[in-house]
């Protein structure tokens, strides 16, 4: 019997590689306000939850320009651009290999629900993932409560569940849900933000297959 029977996946930055897209969209907003442009490296160092903190770090004046309005405008701009993103290498093959081993999948995301479903269908993962749990607005705030409600209703045992994400927020959500956490080191947060958390780190999605074994950290997968 495998240790993990269910995987809760993060979407943006983990299964979907959209980092270049979000940086490009944000740079359009920054240019409109004569704020310094954002590089992918700086993005990985300052992107944060709740997302309003990230906007503040970029120099937005949220007293003069309320976050709710900015979030709606950003969602519209991202909505016109996200198809230029791509799946992580090996995403579908990894999901299929784990499904063959009896592991089930869900996605827990801070993306708005209808957008999440549209992206999953566009990139062809809607047939290998059993549940998609997004949020009901465009503010990309904590997905924890949505995860709690879904986990309580689903026939999923937290003791045999692992959350795989790419940010410190994913770590916090996984711990709050009472599940193990594995973090992807090439997503929306820089490696040096993830290392201190002390959980297994992966650098490619196929490494996940080695983690689904009788021990929490399978041979060949190391904390880096």
Residues 6 or more apart in contact with residue 156 via CB below 8 angstroms: 5, 6, 104, 106
pLDDT in tens, 46-59: 999 999 999 999 99
For residue 120 the two structure tokens come to 């999953």
pTM: 0.91
> pLDDT class for 141, splitting at 50, 70, 90?
low
Distance CA 63, CA 78 (A): 23
pLDDT at 1: 42
Percent of the chain residues past pLDDT 70, beyond the cut: 91
pLDDT of 22 strictly over 70? yes
Task: Please state, in angstroms and rounded to a whole number, the distance separating the CA atoms of residues 125 and 129.
Answer: 6
pLDDT band for position 124 (cuts 50, 70, 90): very high
Phi, psi angle pair for 201, to nearest 5°: -115, 140
Q: How confident is the model at residue 2 (pLDDT cuts 50, 70, 90)?
A: low
Rg over CA atoms, the chain: 17
pLDDT recorded at residue 35:
98
pLDDT digits (tens, 9 = 90+) for 155-186: 899 999 999 999 999 999 999 999 999 999 99
- At residue 112, does pLDDT exceed 80? yes
Contact 74, 26 (CB under 8 A): yes
Core vs surface per residue 178-212: b (16+ CB within 10 A) or e: ebbbbbbbbbbbbeebbeebebbbbeebebbbebb
On the CB side of 92, CA atoms within 13 Å amount to 10
């Amino acid at each position: 019997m495998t240790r993990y029977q269910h995987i809760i996946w993060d979407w943006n930055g983990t299964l979907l590689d959209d980092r270049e897209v979000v940086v490009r969209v944000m740079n359009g907003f920054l240019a409109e306000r004569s704020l310094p442009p954002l590089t992918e490296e700086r993005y990985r160092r300052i992107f944060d939850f709740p997302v309003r903190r990230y906007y503040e770090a970029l120099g937005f004046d949220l007293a003069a320009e309320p976050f709710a309005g900015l979030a709606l405008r950003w969602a519209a701009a991202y909505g016109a651009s996200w198809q230029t993103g791509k799946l992580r290498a090996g995403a579908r093959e990894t999901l299929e290999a784990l499904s063959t081993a009896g592991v089930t999948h869900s996605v827990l995301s801070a993306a708005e629900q209808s957008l999440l479903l549209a992206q999953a269908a566009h990139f062809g993962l809607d047939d290998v993932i059993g549940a998609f749990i997004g949020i009901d607005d465009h503010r990309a705030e904590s997905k924890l409560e949505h995860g709690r409600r879904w986990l309580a209703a689903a026939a999923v045992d937290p003791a045999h569940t692992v959350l795989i994400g790419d940010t410190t927020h994913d770590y916090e959500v996984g711990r709050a849900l009472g599940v193990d956490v594995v973090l992807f080191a090439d997503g929306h947060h820089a490696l040096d933000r993830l290392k201190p958390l002390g959980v297994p780190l992966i650098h490619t999605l196929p490494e996940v297959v080695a983690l689904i074994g009788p021990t929490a950290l399978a041979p060949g997968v190391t904390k880096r």
